[in-house]
């Protein structure tokens, strides 16, 4: 019953810092190791298995703005605390990859062991590194559509030659950490805003990338409507859910349907009786896995269309 903790994103010039925390419990998952030693495909496969089989997992996010405000050391502490707060499973020991006890000033500090290369040696720490890496990489891929031209998908915020050239040409974004020495000269000069008017070139994107962009627009729509996003692309070997959100003590399970043009029809028409049964099963399974007694559960469908994706219709089904 070890709570394993590892971080991703300490060194990039842009993007959030993410700390993963995992209690595997009785789960034995083959192939766990340092996330950097795995292929992207293998990481994503293991991420799905970990989320499905682990007794508990959490992710602690700290934005670039927060890093600039409080410093990287304090950000590591904050991200670790945020990740651990999400763990509801029982555990008797905490192992943090590295040499620093980020929980030393909390009531959990006495239970922490720090261990260099724990992500290679301790399965729960390996799992923490994987879920954090997959989540952060997916987030940075989304930013490619919001801030085109930077190549965030390929370098995920690190200071590569490609990234440096993009900054020289385009300036910095709210994703960039201006407290980092290479970007210090840009303090107070955030020159790039979110690109909301650039149409999507769907001829050059994979179906997954197009779907991710539509889901990103649906998520922003929900946030504007007062929802808090809990999960994106929640998957198990049995089912999957595009978006899970909470509002007014009600948990919503959203199916996002994208159509490039109105001529292709409203995506909500794809919610067949069979699909509705699948959605109901996924929602009930999610509630069971995450122990959500006392919450109202609702199913919705969100139709997104256009080369510049926009939410056309929001339908509460059940």
Nearest Cα to 282, choosing from 211, 248, 231? 231
Nearest Cα to 87, choosing from 56, 60, 61? 56
Pick 42 or 259 by higher pLDDT: 42
Locus of tokens 């891929």: 141
Cβ distance 266 to 259 under 8 Å? yes
| Complete domains list, the chain, with CATH | 2-139 (3.30.420.10), 142-186 (no CATH), 207-316 (3.40.1350.10)
pTM of the prediction? 0.64
The pLDDT, as a whole number, for residue 266 is: 57
Q: What is the pLDDT of residues 228-271, one digit of tens each?
A: 888 888 888 788 899 998 888 889 999 988 877 655 455 566 67
| DSSP summary character for residue 111 | G
Burial class (CB in 10 A: 0-12, 13-18, 19+), 202: middle
Q: What is the pLDDT of residues 100-138, one digit of tens each?
A: 999 999 999 999 999 999 999 999 999 999 999 999 999
Mean local confidence (pLDDT), 67-82: 95
Q: What is the mean pLDDT of the chain?
A: 86
């Amino acid at each position: 019953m070890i709570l394993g903790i590892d971080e991703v994103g300490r060194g990039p010039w842009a993007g959030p810092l993410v700390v993963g925390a995992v209690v595997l419990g009785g789960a034995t998952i083959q192939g766990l190791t340092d996330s950097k030693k795995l292929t992207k495909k293998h990481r994503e496969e293991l991420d799905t298995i970990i989320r499905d089989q682990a007794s508990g997992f959490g992710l602690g996010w700290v934005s670039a703005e927060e890093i600039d405000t409080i410093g990287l050391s304090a950000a590591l502490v904050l991200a670790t605390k945020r990740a651990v707060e999400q763990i509801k499973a029982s555990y008797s020991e905490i192992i943090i990859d590295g040499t620093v006890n980020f929980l030393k000033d909390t009531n959990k500090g006495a239970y922490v062991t720090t261990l260099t290369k724990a992500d290679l040696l301790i399965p729960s720490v390996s799992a923490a590194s994987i879920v954090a890496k997959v989540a952060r990489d997916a987030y940075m891929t989304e930013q490619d559509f919001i801030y085109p031209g930077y190549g965030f998908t390929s370098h995920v915020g690190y200071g590569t030659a490609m990234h440096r050239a993009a900054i020289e040409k385009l300036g910095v974004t709210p994703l960039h950490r201006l407290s980092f020495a290479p970007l210090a000269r840009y303090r107070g000069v955030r020159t790039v805003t979110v690109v909301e008017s650039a149409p999507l070139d769907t001829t050059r994107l994979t179906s997954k990338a197009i779907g991710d962009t539509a889901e990103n627009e649906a998520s922003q729509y929900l946030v504007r409507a007062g929802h808090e996003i809990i999960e994106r692309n929640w998957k198990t070997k049995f089912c999957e859910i595009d978006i899970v959100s909470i509002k007014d003590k009600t948990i919503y399970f959203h199916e996002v349907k994208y159509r490039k043009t109105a001529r292709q029809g409203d995506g909500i028409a794809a919610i067949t009786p069979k699909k509705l049964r699948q959605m109901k099963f996924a929602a009930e399974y999610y509630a069971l896995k995450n122990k959500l007694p006392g919450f109202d559960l609702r199913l919705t469908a969100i139709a997104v269309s256009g080369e510049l994706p926009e939410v056309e219709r929001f339908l509460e089904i059940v």
